[in-house]
Amino acid sequence: MKLSPCIGLIASACAVLGTSTSGTPGIRNIFTFPKNHFIENIAVRANSKLLVTSMSVPDLFSIDPTIPNPTAPIVHTFPNCTGIAGIAEVIPDLFALVTGTWDLANTRAALGSLHVWTIDFNQSPPFTKFITVVANSTILNGLARHPTNPTLLMAADSAAGSVWRINLLTGSSSVAFSSPLLEPTGTAMEGLHLGINGLRSLGAYLYFTNSAQKFFGKVAVDFFGNKIGNIQVISNSTAAGANVVYDDIALDVNPITGKGEAWIASHPDYAVKVPVGISGAQTVVKNATLLLNPTSAAFGRGSAKERKTLYVTNGGEFTPEFDLINEGVVALDF
């Protein structure tokens, strides 16, 4: 989650740095939203449909990327909020998400406005359930199901430098752990006001980015969400480029061996592949026309083709009139 004001359309530029074992991906547009929809996060259902959140409208959108010229119908409009931040699947086809009343200029929510919900696609129409209010946080950013405990939702607090645990059965919430390595480094924009940002779970670990401190790392957690051992730094965004800012993550990692790769949506116009558990350089895909302040990423599901497709959400760019345009979803095909 970060938005850099880019005035007007940027001239086309495309470059790939480093060596990619999977080849240079092609990039294509999937869907562009109307102006002033700040697209924040993405999750992919087993039926290949994309669930997309926006922090500037209270609507959850669905996109079918397998058809030509897809639309983005609203699945549900959530009450008493101005937008939706993170979303994560916690059991098959049941997703948790966080709504809030957002001050987008500061990327913070009004205290007491953060609400956790679930939406269950195993029912028709999808059934939404209010879980709890997290009253003592101003931002719950990345979300992930606990690696081994499906009753717990883990949430990244980018302001406080902590990880919350939220019990989806009881609604109880508390800080699971904090660390200086999760904290932001300042209050200015350009990522310094966002510490821990993207969050994913796999095996015994939570994988995360820290935008302000410019690294991607992991930490083991126990069944109750408590931190085990030290936080491990996997990569630094400065190795990918001086102006690269890591945001959210898509994992392609073996949960047993811990080896594979992560693709990180990165500002202002990058997708970065990072080796995980193996040696190798980062691979940087840069495209100033189709990657416009990327905010999140997720691999497709379903067919073999979909599983080789990385979907990236774009926060968009500002016009001279300060309208946000070109926010949406693009695909990287491998």
What the chain holds in terms of domains, given with CATH numbers, is 14-333 (2.120.10.30)
Task: Specify the DSSP class assigned to residue 10.
Answer: P
CB 2 within 8 A of CB 265: no
Who contacts 87 (Cβ-Cβ below 8 Å, separation ≥6)?
A: 41, 42, 43, 51, 53, 60, 95, 96, 97, 143
**pLDDT tens profile 30-83:** 999 999 999 999 999 999 999 999 999 999 999 999 999 999 999 999 999 999
Instruction: For residue range 9-22, list pLDDT tens digits in order.
Output: 222 333 333 323 34
Q: What pTM was computed for the model?
A: 0.93
pLDDT, residue 110, reads: 98
| pLDDT tens digits, one per residue of 250-293 | 999 999 999 999 999 999 999 999 999 999 999 999 999 999 99
Which of 269, 152, 261, 285 lies closest to 207, judged by CA?
A: 261
State the pLDDT at residue 258. Answer: 95
Closest of 156, 159, 158, 167 to residue 201, by C-alpha: 156
Q: pLDDT higher for 25 or 194?
A: 194
Model confidence pLDDT, tens digit, residues 155-189: 999 999 999 999 999 999 999 999 999 999 986 65
Average predicted confidence (pLDDT) for the chain: 92
How confident is the model at residue 188, as a pLDDT? 63
Least trusted range by pLDDT, from 7-21, 141-155, 182-196, 310-324: 7-21
CA nearest neighbour of 315 among 50, 16, 32: 32
Q: Please give the pLDDT value at position 191.
A: 60
What was the pLDDT predicted at 2?
52
The tens digit of pLDDT for each residue in 207-240 reads 999 999 999 999 999 999 999 999 999 999 999 9
Q: Peptide bond preceding 125: is omega within 30 degrees of 0, i.e. cis? A: yes
Q: Using 50, 70 and 90 to split pLDDT, how confident is the model at 105?
A: confident
Using left for φ > 0, alpha for ψ between -120 and 50, and beta otherwise, residue 225 falls in: left
pLDDT for 1 equals 63
> Can you say how many angstroms the Cα of residue 89 is from the centroid of all Cα atoms in its chain?
13
pLDDT value for 23: 57
Q: How far is CA 93 from the centre of its chain?
A: 18
Torsion of CA 97, 103, 104, 109, to 10 degrees: -30
Summarize the confidence of residues 110-119 as an average pLDDT: 98
